[in-house]
Amino acid sequence: TPLALAAQTGHTEIMELLLQKGADVLSQAMDCASVLFEAAGGGNPDSLSLLLEYGADANVPKHSVHILENQNLVPVTNFDAIKESGISPVHSAAAGAHPQCLEFLLKSGFDANFMLDQRVRKGYDDHRRSALYFAVSNGDICSTELLLNAGALPNQDPINCLQIALRMGNYELMNLLLRHGANVNYFCRVNTTHFPSALQYALKDEVMLRMLMNYGYDVQRCFDCPRGNSSHSPYVTDGWTSTVIKDTMVSIRECFICCFTGSILLKTK
């Protein structure tokens, strides 16, 4: 529409003239982009203020058309074909950060715990499986909450979803996952030792550390080493790719810090 074109280019005076003559402030383009959306892309604050004064809705999503498409497609969806494909629409909605589509799919009976097939997982260095992992990786609180409320299990991936939230330092995600049963005592097995995976990201963050402790973090496990006081081989990483090592372990020096932190916590408990 002429109003949308004026909004794109930030011509506020022309927009005001069109609105005074009855232009529809709530009109949308074929791709469902609102006039306000176009103005936001143009970056002119005056244009945005003008549209809001005339009643533009700031909460209209650009891609609401996808919901209508889903409503038509879901009834004719072949669930056997989904299983054979190795990936669910729930994964796609979570990966693309489309919470409205995700909510519709979950309400339509799609499984929140459908796992990626092995051949699909090979395309990801972390071998992720669940839709929840995609949502957490995106830092998408809304999609994460939708999946957890629909029964998504938080401990199904090789790298725990909680580990991702910890690495991001996202307290809200951490709290959501912990409240829905995420394993606070998730430990990676690195060679012969149990590495305290969650603790590596919490050492410099008291809030994060307290949150882990409040949910039952097992500090004693930090001292679990089958080698005892015998010789260690700190740099042996056979069977581990660089990506996995980056995500799940830190240096031996940091391991000692973990144990030291654990001993302090035990003394002050």
Structure tokens at 256: 């000692």
Q: Which residue has the tokens 């498409």?
A: 69
CA distance 172 to 203: 18
Cα–Cα distances (Å) from 35 to 4, 32, 45, 87, 136, in that order, read 5, 10, 14, 36, 32
Q: What is the pLDDT of residue 228?
A: 66
Q: 99 or 57: whose pLDDT is higher? A: 99
Question: HSE-up of 4 (CA within 13 Å, CB side)?
Answer: 14
Q: 25 or 234: whose pLDDT is higher? A: 25
> What are the residues whose beta carbons fall under 8 Å from the beta carbon of 265, sequence distance 6 or more?
213, 219
Per residue in 40-75, pLDDT (tens digit) is: 777 778 888 888 888 887 655 544 444 444 555 555
Q: What is the pLDDT of residue 145?
A: 96
Q: What is the pLDDT of residue 30?
A: 60
Q: Per-residue confidence at 32, pLDDT binned at 50, 70, 90? A: low
Q: Per-residue confidence at 140, pLDDT binned at 50, 70, 90? A: very high
Neighbours of 20 (CB within 10 A): 9
CA distance 195 to 205: 19
CATH of domain 2-53: 1.25.40.20
Of the candidates 170, 193, 165, 207, which has an alpha carbon nearest to the alpha carbon of residue 254? 193
User: Strand, coil or helix: what is 192?
Assistant: coil
Q: What is the pLDDT of residue 44?
A: 77
Sign, CA dihedral 77-82-87-90, equals positive
Of the candidates 238, 251, 139, 267, which has an alpha carbon nearest to the alpha carbon of residue 200? 251
Q: What is the pLDDT of residue 134?
A: 96
Please state which CATH class domain 63-153 belongs to: mainly alpha
228-262: burial string, b at 16+ Cβ within 10 Å, e else? eeeeeeeeeeeeeeeebeebbbbeeeebebbbebb
Residue type, 165: A
Are the CB atoms for 193 and 226 separated by under 8 Å?
Answer: yes
Of the candidates 25, 29, 27, which has an alpha carbon nearest to the alpha carbon of residue 16? 25
Are the CB atoms for 187 and 219 separated by under 8 Å?
Answer: no
Q: What is the arithmetic mean of pLDDT over 198-218?
A: 85
pTM beyond 0.85:
no
Q: Per-residue confidence at 88, pLDDT binned at 50, 70, 90? A: confident
Are the CB atoms for 115 and 130 separated by under 8 Å?
Answer: yes
Q: Does the pLDDT value for residue 126 go beyond 80?
A: yes
First-to-final CA distance of the chain: 66
Domain with CATH 1.25.40.20 in the chain: 2-53, 63-153
Q: Does the pLDDT value for residue 198 go beyond 90?
A: no
> What are the residues whose beta carbons fall under 8 Å from the beta carbon of 105, sequence distance 6 or more?
70, 74, 89, 90, 93
